[in-house]
């Protein structure tokens, strides 16, 4: 009979060879979740501060409006469509391509009265429409009042 020679090598056990303890795993997991939550709250706070700093008292107009809503300036009898992104609201009118909400409301340093409406059927097509025709459509309940300042 042939005897097989076996090679026995002796290995030393170190702290890196042992599996991580369960309590340490849970501790690191909880620590990671806490860090992500804190960073999320800080990011949301900075985002809210950016909106507050830019729009001030108009921040409710920013938060309540949606992309495609109708905005009417009652003081100047102008109207436009809201184009909203994650940081700003721009208003597209028949005369101007884009105006910021703050500049729309505060014209010549004085506050004007504005109202935001949302189309009930989801469509807001205003090409070639006049202010008086738009008021008739609002009276006919084609639009729902969202907020006014």
pLDDT of residue 128: 78
Give the integer Cα–Cα distance in Å for 44 and 48. Answer: 6
Give the integer Cα–Cα distance in Å for 9 and 28. Answer: 35
pLDDT of residue 10: 60
Give the integer Cα–Cα distance in Å for 42 and 15. Answer: 37
Six-digit token string for 97: 């391509």
Q: How many beta carbons lie within 10 A of that of residue 70, not counting itself?
A: 23
Six-digit token string for 149: 């300042």
pLDDT in tens, the chain (149 residues): 555 555 555 666 565 556 668 888 889 999 999 999 999 999 999 999 999 999 888 889 899 999 888 999 988 888 989 998 888 999 988 887 888 998 888 888 888 899 999 988 777 677 778 888 888 888 887 888 999 88
* Composition of the chain by helix, strand, coil, percent to 5: 40, 20, 40
Asked if 69 and 143 touch (Cβ cutoff 8 Å), the reply is: no
C-alpha 147, offset from chain centre = 18
pLDDT of residue 148: 87
Rounded (5°) CA angle 135-83-77? 30
Between strands 99-100 and 114-119, the pairing is: unpaired
Where exactly are the structural domains of the chain?
Answer: 22-57, 60-148
Q: DSSP assignment of 7-18, as one string? A: --------TTTS
Q: Which of 135, 76, 144, 65 is nearest to 104 (CA)?
A: 76
pLDDT of residue 11: 60
Six-digit token string for 148: 């006014």
């Amino acid at each position: 009979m042939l005897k097989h020679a076996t090679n026995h090598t002796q290995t030393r056990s170190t702290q890196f060879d042992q599996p991580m303890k369960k309590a340490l795993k849970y501790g690191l997991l909880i620590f990671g979740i806490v860090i992500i939550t804190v960073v999320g709250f800080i990011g949301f706070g900075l985002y809210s501060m950016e909106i507050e700093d830019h729009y001030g008292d108009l921040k409710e107009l920013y938060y309540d409006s949606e992309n495609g809503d109708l905005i009417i300036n009652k003081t100047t009898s102008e109207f436009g469509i809201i184009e909203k992104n994650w940081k700003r609201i721009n208003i597209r009118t028949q005369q101007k391509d884009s105006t910021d909400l703050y500049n729309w409301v505060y014209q010549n340093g004085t506050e004007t009265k504005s109202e935001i409406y949302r189309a009930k059927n989801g469509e807001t097509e205003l090409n070639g429409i006049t202010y008086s025709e738009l008021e008739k459509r609002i009276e006919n309940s084609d639009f729902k009042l969202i907020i006014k300042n």
